[in-house]
Amino acid sequence: MMSLLNQEYTSRQRDLAQTIFERYMSADPLLSSEYSQYRQRTMLRDILYNLECLDVAVRHDTEEIFLDYVLWMYNLLVTRMTDTSPERIKQQLIQHYQTMIEVLAEDVSESANQRRIILEKAISLTKQGQVPGTPSRRFEKGKYAPLRQAYLQNLLAGDRKSASKEIMDAIEAGVPLKDIYIEVFQEVMWEVGNLWHRNKLTVDKEHLCTAITQGVMAQLYSRIFSTPRNGRRIVACCVGSELHEMGVRTVCDLFELNGWDSVYLGAAVPTDGVLHAVEEHKPDVVALSVTMISYIDNCAEIIETIRRHSNLQATRIAVGGRAFQIASSLPKKWGVITATNGADFVDWAVRFFG
Ligand code: B12
């Protein structure tokens, strides 16, 4: 399996992961010959991450959090463990979830039953799992498909000058900035993610595509900041150890384009930091971005902290990012605003604030 995040875990979580690992390995004698020492080590880390995802799903009563991860993991392994057939990977994963059910059944916590139900669903979902085939359909459709394709090819070639020119020419030809952000940058970056997931693109290329796009975004600033100001302000950031900051940067740029002032704090802002920025800048809206589901807890904590402060009651709180496209019921449960992309979020702000 793949190691996702370098988290700090408690000794109880580590013990549990060790027990699951040992039982899993002894349940199927084939595994010790199939798994190299390296794979066994990364597997232990992945079990910790699996347990964490399950915990987040249970804590927020949102099984989609774990089930989305289960399918994503199956697809990832199929393209990474090329020495093992997709059917065998399925068997291994099912055996793994079964072992989790058995080990967690010995746990007497209140949520034991809920964990079992989610893991049983994970098993049936894995049984139905399809090997990923075709590239994402949205990327290849619509009037911006040629521009996306040309821009992506420049990114992959590491050609900053041509990537930038492609975008500047499109703007000169009348493509609105909003579409450049949502229809080109966002769609291309999502496609970069799909290619990485399907093992068609290496991590260095993923970083390259990100770095070039960040550079091109910066070239658009003179256009974005020239819109007349409307006196509104947004503070925006990623929470926990979240590194995916292009989404919330897009949000800020689109708000700037619509006359707002944005205080863009970037990646991985701790709770105290968000609170300090909100107290200092007194925004109309604070926007919290989460991509990796592990940071949903951090987001919930920040919302609670802001709400505890009586002087911040007027601040509207919004959440968004990939995690809330999966856990789509959470924003309503928490009583906060959400939107699936930056443009829809601006539309909400225009309706709400006029
Ligand atoms: C670039 C990238 C990275 C870069 C990020 C660099 C940076 N400076 O941002 C780096 C290399 C650091 C990275 C690291 C990792 N990544 Co990554 N990454 C991506 C990638 C390809 C693109 C992200 C992006 O820029 N998207 C474009 C923006 C514009 O879209 P967006 O974020 O969705 O934002 C829009 C909306 O969501 C919304 N929105 C966002 N925030 C907010 C907030 C509010 C309030 C509102 C209303 C709306 C809103 O509006 C935005 C604009 O329209 C994605 C693929 C994807 N599908 O997103 C994978 C992806 C997110 N990464 C993934 C993974 C696995 C990882 C790593 C774990 C990989 C690893 N093994 O190291 C680490 C984790 C790091 C961490 N702790 O956060 C997976 C996550 C899968 C999962 N099951 O969770 C993805 C989906 C790739 C994939 N298809 O498998 N990654």
Q: Look at residue 1 in the predicted model and tell me its pLDDT.
A: 39
As for ligand 1, residues whose beta carbon falls within 6 Å of it are: 2, 4-5, 69, 72, 182, 186, 189-190, 192-194, 196-197, 206-207, 210, 241-248, 250-251, 287-289, 291-292, 318-322, 338-339, 341-342, 345
Of all protein residues, the one whose alpha carbon is nearest to atom 79 of ligand 1 is 193
**pLDDT band, residue 133 (cuts 50/70/90):** low
11-128 and 138-222 have identical folds:
no
Of all protein residues, the one whose alpha carbon is nearest to atom 50 of ligand 1 is 341
In words, the CATH class of domain 229-353 is: alpha beta
What residue has token string 């959090």? 65
Q: What is the rounded distance in angstroms from the CA atom of residue 66 to the CA atom of residue 62?
A: 8
Of all protein residues, the one whose alpha carbon is nearest to atom 60 of ligand 1 is 193
Q: Look at residue 306 in the predicted model and tell me its pLDDT.
A: 96
Residue 5, pLDDT above cutoff 60:
no
Contact residues for 268 (Cβ-Cβ < 8 A; gap 6+): 238, 239, 240, 241, 242, 243
Summarize pLDDT for 41-94 with one digit per residue, the tens. Answer: 888 888 999 999 999 999 999 999 999 999 999 999 999 988 899 999 999 999
Residue 19, pLDDT above cutoff 60:
yes
Selected residue with higher pLDDT from 269 and 43: 269
Alpha helices in the chain, H assignment, sequence order:
11-27, 30-34, 37-59, 64-80, 86-105, 112-128, 145-156, 160-172, 177-179, 187-197, 203-219, 221-224, 246-257, 271-281, 296-308, 322-326, 330-334, 342-353
CATH (residue range 11-128):
1.10.490
Radius of gyration of the chain from its Cα atoms, rounded to whole angstroms:
22
Closest CA to 240 of 293, 181, 286: 293
Q: What is the rounded distance in angstroms from the CA atom of residue 56 to the CA atom of residue 49?
A: 10
Q: What is the rounded distance in angstroms from the CA atom of residue 288 to the CA atom of residue 163?
A: 29
Of all protein residues, the one whose alpha carbon is nearest to atom 48 of ligand 1 is 320
Q: How far is the CA of 217 from the centre of ligand 1 (A)?
A: 17
Alpha-carbon dihedral 244, 249, 250, 255, rounded to 10 degrees: 150
What burial class does residue 79 get, using C-beta atoms within 10 Å of its C-beta: 0-12 exposed, 13-18 middle, 19+ buried? Answer: middle
Q: What is the rounded distance in angstroms from the CA atom of residue 259 to the CA atom of residue 256?
A: 5
Tell me the fold of 138-222. 1.10.1240
Q: How far is the CA of 244 from the centre of ligand 1 (A)?
A: 5
Of all protein residues, the one whose alpha carbon is nearest to atom 35 of ligand 1 is 247
**Helix axis angle, 246-257 to 203-219, nearest 10°:** 10
Percent of the chain with pLDDT over 70: 96
Summarize pLDDT for 189-214 with one digit per residue, the tens. Answer: 999 999 999 999 999 999 999 999 99
Q: Look at residue 54 in the predicted model and tell me its pLDDT.
A: 95
Closest CA to 260 of 225, 236, 288: 225
Domain boundaries, the chain: 11-128, 138-222, 229-353
Q: Look at residue 268 in the predicted model and tell me its pLDDT.
A: 97
Residue 264, pLDDT above cutoff 80:
yes
Q: What is the rounded distance in angstroms from the CA atom of residue 58 to the CA atom of residue 195?
A: 31
Q: Look at residue 4 in the predicted model and tell me its pLDDT.
A: 52
Q: What would the mean pLDDT of 98-123 be, rounded to a whole number?
A: 90
Q: How far is CA 262 from the centre of its chain?
A: 22
Pick from 291, 295, 352 the residue to mutate for probing ligand 1's pocket: most ligand atoms within 8 Å of its CB. Answer: 291
What burial class does residue 180 get, using C-beta atoms within 10 Å of its C-beta: 0-12 exposed, 13-18 middle, 19+ buried? Answer: buried
Helix (H, G, I), strand (E, B) or coil at 286: strand
Of all protein residues, the one whose alpha carbon is nearest to atom 25 of ligand 1 is 246
The edge-to-edge listing of strands for the beta sheet with 261-269 is 261-269, 233-239, 285-289, 316-320, 337-338
Q: How far is the CA of 160 from the centre of ligand 1 (A)?
A: 21
Closest CA to 340 of 327, 352, 322, 354: 322
Nearest atom of ligand 1 to the alpha carbon of 197: 90
Angle at 327 (CA atoms; ends 306, 317), nearest 5 degrees = 25
